[in-house]
Structure 1
Amino acid sequence: MTLIADILMAGGAFGAALYCYVLSQRLRRFSTLEGGMGGAIAVLSAQVDDMTRALDKARAAATISASSLEALTGRAESVASRLDLLLASMHDLPDTPAEARAEFEPEADRRLRFVRRRSLREDAEVEA
């Protein structure tokens, strides 16, 4: 009886050793950097680093754009309030008769001419 138990125990130990050897070979192939999962993990890690840097740059650009947009919005609101005030003051002016208007506008049929000039900033951009 002990002989049968010893043979079964030796067979079990040999099976466990064979199983451990097969697992070690699979693990070695799994972790190689050239073609196994280790290479894929290294590539993905490099891509995550690149995406993190790109995200930081995009976040910085968005912050700058948001601050400039906020400044422009503030300027637009102040100009809009000034325009509202000017329009309100125009309604308070008394209406003048047609003869008095003709004195101030001798050439009512004359077409207005608008002249547009370049700013210093546009000149600098053209030269560059």
Structure 2
Amino acid sequence: MELLSNLLLFAAALGAGFYCLILSRRLKRFSGLETGMGGAIAVLSAQVDDLARVLGQARTAAQDSAARLEERTQRAESAARQLELMLAALHDLPPEADPSAGARARFVRRRMSPQDGEMG
């Protein structure tokens, strides 16, 4: 009986050793940097770093674009206010003479100055 239990114990130890050997080989293949999961993890890590860098550049570009858009919107609003004032001033002018009498309407053209969008 003791011999049988020793044989069973020896077989169990031999089976556990064989299982550990197979598991060790699989783990080496799994964590290999060139072909295994370790390589995939290294590639993904590099891609995450690249993505973070590109995302930072995109964020900076978006902030710059937003600042330029805000500046141009303010300039457009300023020009719109000035145009509204000019139109309101036109309503105060007296009616002109009959256009068929040969009188020509006079127009004053103004150009926007490059500085802060004010009429010059």
- TM-score normalised by length of structure 1: 0.73
Moved over 6 A (4+): none
- Considering only aligned residues, what root-mean-square deviation do their CA atoms show, in Å? 2.3
**In the alignment, which residue of structure 1 is the partner of 2:78?**
78
- 1:40 corresponds in structure 2 to 40
Query: How many residues are aligned here?
Result: 106
Match of 1:97 in 2: 97
Q: Using structure 2 for the length normalisation, give the TM-score.
A: 0.78
Distance (Å, rounded) in 2 between the aligned partners of 1:27 and 1:8: 28
Higher-helix-fraction structure: 1
SS in 1 for 2:32: coil
Unaligned runs of 5+ in 2: 107-113, 115-120
- Could you say which structure has the greater relative contact order, defined with CA pairs below 8 angstroms and 6 or more residues apart? 2
Q: Distance in 1 between matches of 2:17 and 2:11?
A: 10
| Percent identity between the two aligned chains | 53
| Deviation sequence 1:92-121 (CA, Å, 0-9, x none) | 21212227x845x39x9xxxxxxxxxx9xx
